[in-house]
A and B are shown apart, each in its own frame.
Chain A
């Protein structure tokens, strides 16, 4: 009789797997990490198509672009037999595998962790189950490892199909690439899990860690091609160790045994250390261990807040000063104040001046555009001011790094580029660095614009819902769209200025061309920002952003950036010429080498069309999203 009181009607206690709480807890204690891994993998399944597609297409793209395309330029210049490879393609194959894994480590160990702790607080949900914080961390790592392994396996198969491996040991590349990805990803994960909020640290990691490590790890050329001080980066880079290990496995690159041991131990050491630290930080953060009075990032936060407060205070003082001086100097305004009709009593407004007229334009499309783009732009500037300056400036770094890496690293293999071959008049030859410099400016304009108009816009659209707030004021969708694009251009403009400065110092462009190239960079950025924002307005989750990368990477690789498209058959050339970046790169080169023609107009026209279409679609979508 008393027993029955504990039985809820309708549930047969004896058969419910949830009945024995002790057994349940014990099981979770043993294999809890697997449960968390399962959850992560299930959520990855939603974008499994992207993962599979990228795993298949990435190797093919890199093989076609770098292996075959750049390979034509490199030709016999680099003697890869001494490394055991029979071609340039074979030489870079394993390195590209390791690099692509490292790149996606930069995504998989950053955003999902931020999502777990802050944006969607998934980890706190998991913590309410018997899972321990350490298991939550390990589960994520395991799931990502599975993703890497699948990627590496597919990649290796594709390499083998292209005849770019010569040793059966190549299968073990899966392990070396995975290890490389974890070695670079886990320290990052440990860092990200200490963050209280995302203030651009993700792009800092991308630009100051992943990018340099990727570019100076001997991926596209032997590390020894670089000057000594840059080789140091490679020695510390897990990517370099994974690259070298992969080369040993894929085509038996002659390497002393102790060196192989160093590679393995280095990668294992960082992975193990990173894993332990991550688990520890998760345990602390999720509250199982005392913080010992220290919150990571708290000091930096306090400093920033003091700075903001100081600036804010100055603003108030300034406005107070303005006010008092205005009061003194404007007796006639006081007179009109008195003659104004009596105002209704409003709360706490006894001291305030009358509300100024809320002014906006009427007439054509007044419902879409209220004539107040400045406010949206101004808000963006204030937000940039509140963030760390270094994040803003880090965008400068990328093109400079590319130029340094390829200019210094590839140049020993390519003496010079034939002007005829790259479609420039006048004959003669140009240096490889001068050849890629204008292209890199175009690429950096594209990247900056795309970053601002996709990641940042997506964030304000879906996560912080800033646009929704804006749309509850008298702003129209066009104000918001154009204001955001203007902000992207502002940022892009500053980056372009910086890079052009570097190019001028390096003697790679002359001042007159540089001025024109600056405007061309803004123009290219405008086109990409418009289209990027239009595309972003259709996305509903972060992972769809991967599709965007699917388009950007091949565009970067094929659009005559690092080698002329004349290395390809005519059919392929036509496809490349249809892509926007090719027009941007060619436009830049036309200006840099002062070689204008009818095609220059086509390039300009292409971007005009892009801008118009992008802006129209964006406006339409903004209206759809916010005025439903």
Chain B
């Protein structure tokens, strides 16, 4: 990660606003290898503990995910990184700075993409980006050029003078992201970046995020979409009820906590439980030969999940035993299964 764009240099001094009040000073960043480091991070609201003493480190240039269900403490953690929430305990460093002590300074390094687009509806698309840059104290002339670039990046050039209201959901999301990039952030915080988007808009967005990652921006994102985490995150932590359940790359987590394949079976609502026991005994016995790699059976309200290295052979055995599920599906293991294994609950409720 090259820091020269925030280090003072002659060019910067030339363009820097001249009429800035009282003793301006710039960021003097010592290169710190960790973009973000949290230890024993805790957040309590009254009796409720939203984040319960978690430790994690995000390396520079990495794309890092916080994965968990609603209310797991992901957004709260993001808010503490972004210096808009005070900690109840623990330490936090963002680029070597404590967000609580150096709020504006830390936020100057960050690009924040909140869960809900909070675009300024009183301004046009272009003005949204320009004004946001102004909040960072960036000079208007520089912003005029930068804005054109960002509009291009977000594929919104043709909408530059439109009102925010007239944009589609995907466009609004892209504008929010373009806006967050106006200060060329070192770290981009994305809170559920693609929630509520249709598949096409989501893929466009993923593509833009890939490009940012290629360019060396550190990405920190929360999500409860497994496929998104698998696509975007090099490393992630699984969070539940304010605690970290597991940590690692998506592939490693699947390897560690699940089997290679999963067989999904439906027997009808009232028969799932009794079938589960029967299947367990059956497959345990069958697995003696070793060809199935059977691990265990999970019972969900509407279906059974049979974890096995070869789901196909498991299904053959089941059919051979004369059991007739209403539907059956063989698929690869995903982070969803990791989560289920770790917490005993499914991720998306």
Binding site for B on A (CB under 8 A): 197, 305, 308-309, 312-313, 315-316, 319-320, 322-323, 326, 333, 336-337, 339-349, 351-363, 366-367, 370-372, 374-376, 378-379, 382-383, 386-387, 464-466, 468-476, 626-628
Q: Knowing A348-B152, A353-B142 are in contact, say whether A359-B16 is a contact too (CB < 8 A).
A: yes
Q: Knowing A360-B108, A378-B134, A465-B118 are in contact, say whether A354-B5 is a contact too (CB < 8 A).
A: yes
Main secondary structure on chain A at its contact with chain B? loop
Say whether A358 contacts B121, CB under 8 Å.
Answer: no
Say whether A358 contacts B108, CB under 8 Å.
Answer: yes
Say whether B145 contacts A353, CB under 8 Å.
Answer: yes
Contact mask for chain B residues 49-85; partner A; CB cutoff 8 A; 1 contact, 0 none: 0000000000000000000000000000000001111
* CB-defined contacts of A375 to chain B, threshold 8 Å: 131, 134-137
In the complex, what distance in Å separates the CA atom of A383 from the CA atom of B27?
31
Nearest to B154 among chain A residues (CB) is A348
Does B343 sit within 8 A of A, measured CB to CB? Answer: no
Contact of B101 among A337, A351, A367 (CB under 8 A): A367
Task: Give B113 Cβ to nearest chain A Cβ, in Å.
Answer: 9
Nearest to B142 among chain A residues (CB) is A356
For residues 139 through 191 of chain B, which have their beta carbon under 8 Å from a beta carbon of chain A?
A: 139-142, 144-146, 148-150, 152-153, 160-163, 165, 181, 183-184
Say whether A474 contacts B149, CB under 8 Å.
Answer: no
Nearest to B19 among chain A residues (CB) is A374
In the complex, what distance in Å separates the CA atom of A313 from the CA atom of B157?
12
Task: Give B153 Cβ to nearest chain A Cβ, in Å.
Answer: 4
Say whether B123 contacts A379, CB under 8 Å.
Answer: yes
Most buried by B among A337, A345, A360, A371: A360
* CB-defined contacts of A359 to chain B, threshold 8 Å: 16-17, 20, 24-26, 137
* CB-defined contacts of B27 to chain A, threshold 8 Å: 357-358
Nearest to B160 among chain A residues (CB) is A312
Say whether B153 contacts A348, CB under 8 Å.
Answer: yes
In the complex, what distance in Å separates the CA atom of A362 from the CA atom of B105?
9
Most buried by A among B21, B85, B161: B161
* CB-defined contacts of B118 to chain A, threshold 8 Å: 464-466, 468-469
In the complex, what distance in Å separates the CA atom of A352 from the CA atom of B15?
13
* CB-defined contacts of A387 to chain B, threshold 8 Å: 122
Q: Can you give 20 contacting A-B residue pairs, CB < 8 Å?
A: A319-B145, A323-B144, A337-B11, A340-B4, A342-B2, A344-B2, A346-B5, A346-B216, A347-B211, A354-B11, A356-B16, A358-B137, A360-B20, A374-B134, A378-B134, A383-B120, A383-B123, A464-B121, A472-B84, A474-B107
Most buried by A among B23, B104, B121: B104
Say whether B104 contacts A475, CB under 8 Å.
Answer: yes
Q: Knowing A379-B134, A474-B137 are in contact, say whether A340-B6 is a contact too (CB < 8 A).
A: no
Nearest to A466 among chain B residues (CB) is B120
Say whether B104 contacts A367, CB under 8 Å.
Answer: yes
Nearest to B15 among chain A residues (CB) is A356
Say whether A342 contacts B4, CB under 8 Å.
Answer: yes
In the complex, what distance in Å separates the CA atom of A336 from the CA atom of B13?
11
Does B138 sit within 8 A of A, measured CB to CB? Answer: yes
Does B206 sit within 8 A of A, measured CB to CB? Answer: no
Say whether A305 contacts B163, CB under 8 Å.
Answer: yes
Contact mask for chain B residues 216-242; partner A; CB cutoff 8 A; 1 contact, 0 none: 110000000000000000000000000
Binding site for A on B (CB under 8 A): 1-2, 4-17, 20-27, 82-86, 100-105, 107-108, 110, 112, 114, 118, 120-124, 126-127, 131-132, 134-142, 144-146, 148-150, 152-153, 160-163, 165, 181, 183-184, 211-212, 214-217
Say whether B135 contacts A474, CB under 8 Å.
Answer: yes
Say whether B184 contacts A346, CB under 8 Å.
Answer: yes
* CB-defined contacts of B105 to chain A, threshold 8 Å: 360, 366, 474
Contact of B12 among A309, A326, A357, A471 (CB under 8 A): A357
Most buried by B among A464, A469, A471: A469
Say whether B215 contacts A345, CB under 8 Å.
Answer: yes
Most buried by A among B17, B103, B105, B214: B103
* CB-defined contacts of A472 to chain B, threshold 8 Å: 82, 84, 107, 110, 112, 114
Say whether B24 contacts A340, CB under 8 Å.
Answer: no
In the complex, what distance in Å separates the CA atom of A14 from the CA atom of B211?
61
* CB-defined contacts of B132 to chain A, threshold 8 Å: 469, 473
Contact of B85 among A333, A351, A386, A627 (CB under 8 A): A627
* CB-defined contacts of B12 to chain A, threshold 8 Å: 354-357
Most buried by B among A312, A319, A341, A354: A354
Say whether A378 contacts B131, CB under 8 Å.
Answer: yes
Q: Knowing A341-B9, A367-B101, A472-B82 are in contact, say whether A361-B21 is a contact too (CB < 8 A).
A: yes
Most buried by B among A315, A341, A342, A379: A379
Say whether A312 contacts B135, CB under 8 Å.
Answer: no
Given contacts A319-B141, A336-B14, A367-B100, 7 further A-B contacts (CB under 8 A): A348-B152, A354-B12, A360-B25, A383-B123, A464-B121, A474-B135, A474-B136
Q: Knowing A359-B16, A474-B105 are in contact, say whether A379-B121 is a contact too (CB < 8 A).
A: no
Say whether B127 contacts A382, CB under 8 Å.
Answer: yes
* CB-defined contacts of A466 to chain B, threshold 8 Å: 118, 120
Task: Give A184 Cβ to nearest chain B Cβ, in Å.
Answer: 29
Q: Knowing A386-B124, A464-B118, A476-B104 are in contact, say whether A357-B136 is a contact too (CB < 8 A).
A: no
